[in-house]
Amino acid sequence: MSEENKEELLHKMRHSLAHVMAQAVGQLFSGVKYGIGPAIENGFYYDFDLEHHFTPEDLPLIEKKMKHILGQAQKFERVELSRAEALKHFSEKGEKYKVELINDLPEGSVISIYRNGPFEDLCKGPHVEHTGKLKAFKLTHLAGAYWRGSEKNPMLQRIYAVAFETPAELDAYLKLQEEAAKRDHRKIGKQLEIFTFDDDIGPGLPLWLPNGAVMIEELERLAKETEAAAGYFRVKTPHICKESLYQKSGHLDHYVDSMFPAMEIEGQKYYLKPMNCPHHHKIYGSKPRSYRDLPVRLAEYGTCYRYEQSGELFGLMRVRSMQMNDAHIYCTPEQFADEFMAVSRMYLGYFKIFGIEKYVMRFSTHAAEGLGKKYVNNPELWAATEKMVRDTLIAGNLPYKEIPNEAAFYGPKIDVQVWSAIGKEFSLATNQVDFAVPGRFGLLYKAANGEEKTPLCIHRAPLGTHERFIGFLIEHFAGNFPLWLSPVQAKVLNITSEEEGYAGEVLAKLKAAGLRASADLRHETINAKVREAALEKVPYLVVVGKKEKEAGTITLRLRGNRSVFGVNFEEFLNKVKEENTTRALANSY
C-alpha cells in the first residue's frame, strides 16, 4: 500500500472511531449533546456537552463500550438530506450544535448524515465499511474546548484518542509516547537547571539559568565558527524599530496579529522586533553593491519577540522571546543554486554533529487563489522561484515533501523536519527564498553590463532558535548531552578527606585544560556523592581515593552506571580535550 493510500485509510479509520466513541458516550451517559469529532494526527477526538463531568476513570468504561460496538460490525451508511430537511431533523433531536453548523451552510446545500447502528451524525465522510474494520485505538486524555474555538461560546468536554491500523503500530506509538514523557524538555530542563519561567517576567519569556547560558554560548560558538568558514559577516540590530520599517517590508500587513502591540514615543509608533530580515535589508542597502560583492551573507543571533497566543505557549517550543540563528544571503539568480545548496550542506553538517539521522525538507509553495492576499501578487516570479528551489532540491538529492499553500508571503520556504533519537518529529529550522521584499527596500547591485538589478534573498536559520533547538536537544539526548555541550563536563569526587589535596590538583588541571569542571569535597559517602552527581547527568565523574592518590590515577564513573578503574590522568585529560575540541558525539570511554 502506498503512503498516500495508507494515510487515507488511517483517516477513514480514525474518523469512524470518532463516531463510535460518540455513540458509546451517548449510550453510557444521558443528556449528551454532540459537538464535532474529526480525525487528527495520530488519532481523533470528539467534543461533548453534558452535565456529567468526565474523569480519567470514565475512559476505560467508554473504551469497553466502543469495543462492544466494534464487535457488532455495524455498517456505516450515508444518507443525504436537503438543508431544510437536515435543519428539521436535528432541531427535533435537540442537537443545537449540529443546527448551528447546518445554518452556516449555503442555501441549496446537500447535507449528508452517516449512520451506524442506532447512532447518526452530521458528516461528509468518508468512513470504513463497518465497525468491525476498526481495531487498534486507545482513549488518552480529557480537555476542555470552547465550541468553535471562541471564548464567547460554551466550554465543551473533549476526549482525545489515538488510533492505528494494527495493534502493533498502536503499541509502538504508546511506547514512544511513554519514552517521550520521560524526555520531556520541561521536566529535564528543570531538573538540570537549564531554564525557568516566572510569573513576574511573563508567560513565554524564558529565563536562562547558568547551565542554559553555557549551552547557548556553545551553540553560538559552533554557529559562528561554521558561518565564518562559509564567508558570513556578523551584524547586530536593535530590539525595537519604527512602524514604517514593517510597513515597507509588508510584515505589518501579514503578521501584525503575531506582533506585540506598538508603543508610542514622541508621536511615533515603535514595535518590538518580530524578525531580523528588514533590519538586514537596511544593512545591505547602506552602501552601493556590485555584482563582484555578491553574494553578501549577513548573520546575527538576534532576539525577536512574537505574541503567541497563551494557549499555544509550550515550554521552550512555543515562546514569545526567541534568539534566532538568523542570516540573509543576497545573491544573483545565477548564484542561487550554489548558495541554496551551501545552506543545505550546512544543515547536513549540523545533523551529523547532533546525531540527527532522519530528516525531510518540507517545501511550501504558494496557491494561485492567494495571490494579492496571502501572497505577493507576481505569478511569474512565484513559478520561477519555486522551480529554482525544486530543481536544487532534486539536484542535491535532498529528501523533500511539497506542501501547497503554505509559503511565506514573499516566496517559497523550506521547514526542516527532524526526528529525535526516539523517533519524535520536530519542526526545527527554516530556509526561505525572498524575491519580493528586496525590491520594496530598493536593494540593488550593479551587474557586469552596468545595469542595476535587485538581488534574491535567502533567509536561513539552520539551528532555528536557541529556545526550540535546546528544547529539541534536551529530548533528543534525554539530558545526556555530548561532552562539548554539557554545562558541567567533569566532576571530581573524593572518597575521604585524605584525598582533598589530590582532588584539588585534578580539578585545577581539568580547568587549566579548558574544561568546565567542579568538585564535591563534602564529608559525605562516595555513594551519596555519585548518586547526586548522576542526577546532574555529568559526562565524567572523576573519583579519587587512597589507591588513586598513591598511583596518580583516577577512577571514572560514567553514565549508565559504568566504571573504569586505574585510568592514567594525563591520558584521560588528552582524550577529553580531543573529545571536546572535535565536538564528538560519543564519549572516549
Q: What is the pLDDT of residue 276?
A: 94
DSSP conformation letters of 541-573? EEEE-HHHHHHTEEEEEETTTEEEEEEEHHHHH
Collapsed DSSP state (helix, strand, coil) of residue 72: coil
Count of C-beta atoms within a 10 Å radius of residue 105: 13
Q: How far is residue 259 CA from its own chain's centroid?
A: 20
Q: What is the pLDDT of residue 2?
A: 63
* Domain limits, the chain: 3-182, 208-237+273-477, 483-581
35, 24 Cβ separation under 8 angstroms: no
Interatomic CA distance for residues 214 and 217, integer angstroms: 5
Higher model confidence: residue 380 or residue 56? Answer: 56
Q: What is the pLDDT of residue 395?
A: 85
Angstrom CA distances, 115 to 74, 407, 470, 488, stand at 9, 39, 48, 61
417, 393 Cβ separation under 8 angstroms: no
Interatomic CA distance for residues 567 and 506, integer angstroms: 13
Higher model confidence: residue 160 or residue 106? Answer: 160
Task: Please tell me what DSSP assigns to residue 375.
Answer: B
Pairing of strands 358-364, 400-403: parallel
84-111 residue pLDDT tens: 999 999 999 999 999 999 999 888 888 9
Collapsed DSSP state (helix, strand, coil) of residue 12: helix
The one-letter code for the residue type at 119 is: F
Q: What is the mean pLDDT of the chain?
A: 93
Interatomic CA distance for residues 419 and 423, integer angstroms: 5
Interatomic CA distance for residues 369 and 377, integer angstroms: 10
32, 25 Cβ separation under 8 angstroms: yes
Please give the average per-residue pLDDT across 22-48, as a whole number.
96
Please give the average per-residue pLDDT across 181-186, as a whole number.
94
For 208-237+273-477, give the CATH class.
alpha beta
In the CATH scheme, what is the homologous superfamily, with its name and number, of domain 483-581?
Anticodon-binding domain (3.40.50.800)
Q: Where are the alpha helices (DSSP H) in 147-209?
A: 167-182, 185-191
What is 3-182's CATH topology?
A: Threonyl-tRNA Synthetase; Chain A, domain 2 (3.30.980)
pLDDT band at 3 (very low <50, low <70, confident <90, very high): low
Which residue in 102, 111, 98, 121 sits closest to 16, CA to CA?
121
- What cell was used for 359? 530528516
Q: What is the pLDDT of residue 106?
A: 87
Q: What is the pLDDT of residue 206?
A: 97
Rg (alpha carbons) of the chain, rounded to whole number: 29
Give the residue carrying C-alpha cell 559525605: 524
pLDDT band at 1 (very low <50, low <70, confident <90, very high): low
Angstrom CA distances, 517 to 12, 260, 511, stand at 56, 41, 6
Question: Kind and range of the H or E element at 365?
Answer: none
Calculate ∠ Cα 308-312-318, nearest 5°. 70
Interatomic CA distance for residues 362 and 383, integer angstroms: 18
Taking the model in full, what pTM does it have? 0.84
On the CB side of 46, how many CA atoms lie within 13 Å of its CA? 27
Please give the average per-residue pLDDT across 270-292, as a whole number.
95
Please give the average per-residue pLDDT across 147-166, as a whole number.
93
Angle of the 466-477 helix axis to the 210-229 helix axis, nearest 10: 110
Angstrom CA distances, 503 to 175, 491, 499, 520, 563, stand at 43, 10, 6, 9, 18
- Terminal Cα-to-Cα distance of the chain (whole angstroms): 45
Give the residue carrying C-alpha cell 585534578: 506
Please give the average per-residue pLDDT across 258-282, as a whole number.
94
Interatomic CA distance for residues 277 and 437, integer angstroms: 9
What φ, ψ does residue 244 adopt, rounded to 5°? -60, -30
Collapsed DSSP state (helix, strand, coil) of residue 198: coil
b/e burial code for range 531-560 (CB count within 10 A of at least 16 → b):
eebbebbbbbbbbbbeebbeeebbbbbeee
Collapsed DSSP state (helix, strand, coil) of residue 398: coil
401-456 residue pLDDT tens: 998 888 887 788 888 899 999 988 898 888 888 888 899 999 999 999 999 999 99
Pairing of strands 155-164, 240-242: unpaired
